[in-house]
Amino acid sequence: MHRKIVLSFGLAVALLSSAGCEKKSTAPAPRRPLPPASVDAARIIHADNEPGNWMTHGRTYSEQRFSPLNQINDQNVGRLG
């Protein structure tokens, strides 16, 4: 009798374990990282033509470190939240 209970319990655990393994994931597949951009010396020299792109640590060869973008300024910065 004891052996039947142990075997039944083991079978139940095995069935429940295998049922959980077959469940398909609904999570989306991870995205592949974008390839590195093509940035050469000429593009960095003319970085002012692409104000939204920071291609070097300081944005330009002269390390300007100032963003010419103007969507956020001293008039509307208080509304950021």
Per-residue pLDDT tens listing for the chain (81 residues): 788 888 887 877 777 777 666 567 778 888 899 888 888 999 989 988 998 888 888 888 888 888 888 898 889 999 988
Whose tokens are 């000429």? That residue is 42
**Size (the chain), residues:** 81
pTM, full prediction: 0.43
Ordered by start, the domain boundaries in the chain are: 40-66
C-alpha angle 30/57/40, rounded to 5°? 80
